[in-house]
Amino acid sequence: MLRDDIIEYSLGVTHSEEAGKKIRKKIFFVTALLSIVTVVEVLIGVYWKSILGPDSWDLIKAIFIALTVVKAGYIVMVFMHLGDERKMMKYFILLPYAIFILYLLFLLFTEATFLSENLTW
């Protein structure tokens, strides 16, 4: 069933051999980057205590979360091609989600902090 008010995505979907080479190069770059970040995460997880001491857990946590966001960014923007979509498409997918989850996290951590300080079990 073809409708003429919906674009035929397939029109713009093919690319040439040279363009493919460039895209593959980018894919391999991102692969290497994701693998290295994962290895770094594990190394930090194993050795951070003996290097920085047990007091720096908050810093390590922040580093882990930052590295995760980097990884997620590359997966979404390159592997899922969101970086190649129109700008409005990007905002339309990412913004409502980000706002909702950040608000949820704010509520939950506020409550959890209260509970951990006041609840005895």
Partner 1 sequence: MAGEVTKEYDQKTLWGGGRSPFSVSYGKMMMWFFLISDALTFGGLLASLGFMKHQYVDVWPISEEVFTHFPFTHAHLPLLYVAVMTFILIVSSVTMVLAVEAGHRMDRKNVTFWLFWTVIGGAIFLGSQAWEWSTFIAGPDGDISTWADNATLTQNFYGRGFTGDNPILAPVQYSQFFFFVTGFHGTHVLSGVVINLIILLGVVSGKYEKVGHYEMVEKVGLYWHFIDLVWVFVFTFYYLV
Shortest distance, position 72 Cβ to partner 1, whole Å: 6
> Which residue from 112, 109, 103, 101 is spatially nearest to 72, judged by alpha carbons?
101
Q: Round to whole Å and give the CA distance between 57 and 67.
A: 15
Q: Which of 10, 51, 54, 55 binds partner 1 (CB under 8 A)?
A: 10
Which structure tokens are listed for 108?
Answer: 């939950």
Which structure tokens are listed for 73?
Answer: 């960014």
CA 69 distance to own-chain centroid: 4
Counting contacts by CB under 8 A, is residue 55 touching partner 1?
Answer: no
Counting contacts by CB under 8 A, is residue 36 touching partner 1?
Answer: no
Which structure tokens are listed for 8?
Answer: 């035929």
Provide the residue count of the chain.
Answer: 121
Counting contacts by CB under 8 A, is residue 47 touching partner 1?
Answer: no
Q: Round to whole Å and give the CA distance between 101 and 98.
A: 5
Q: Which of 52, 59, 61, 99 binds partner 1 (CB under 8 A)?
A: 61
Residues that bind partner 1 (CB under 8 A): 5-17, 19-20, 23-24, 27, 30-31, 34-35, 38-39, 41-42, 45-46, 61, 64-65, 67-68, 71-72, 75-76, 78-81, 84-86, 88-89, 92-93, 96-97, 100-101, 104-105, 108-109, 111-113, 115-116, 119, 121
